[in-house]
Amino acid sequence: MRGGMPGMMKQIQKMQQEMAKLQDELGNKTVTEEAGGGMIKVTANGNKELVSVEIDPQVINAEEKEILEDLVVAAVNKALASAKKMEEDEMGKLTKGLMPPGMNIPGF
């Protein structure tokens, strides 16, 4: 390994700084998913936090409350899954080439 242990420690410190910066940037990136043909739209950020929920007024009907709730859950789950994928993709760019293929470290 080039630079020995001190060189490796510098690389690790640099990667930690870049990861912290990336986490901040992910908080500013959003993904939007929908359910029910666009009747429910949910936006989440890269920190996997729900940012907004939009419900088409046409689907607000007390008699169909359970359907509306199911659509909201579906849209939220899709948005959170997309946010997770966005995070994994961005982290993958950062750690590319640093870990052997197949090696998976939680949080990376």
Residue ranges of domains in the chain:
4-95
pLDDT (mean) for 62-81: 90
Q: Where are the beta strands (DSSP E) in 16-79?
A: 30-35, 40-45, 50-55
Instruction: State pTM to two decimals.
Output: 0.65
Number of C-beta neighbours around residue 5 at 10 A = 8
SS3 34: strand
Is 108's pLDDT higher than 50?
A: no
Of the ranges 39-43, 46-50, 88-92, which is most confident? 39-43
Give the pLDDT of residue 82: 92
Is 84's pLDDT higher than 70?
A: yes
Give the pLDDT of residue 14: 83
What is the rounded CA–CA span in Å between residue 10 and residue 32?
37
Third-level CATH fold of 4-95: Ybab; Chain: A; (3.30.1310)
CA-closest candidate to residue 68, choices 42, 45, 43, 49:
42
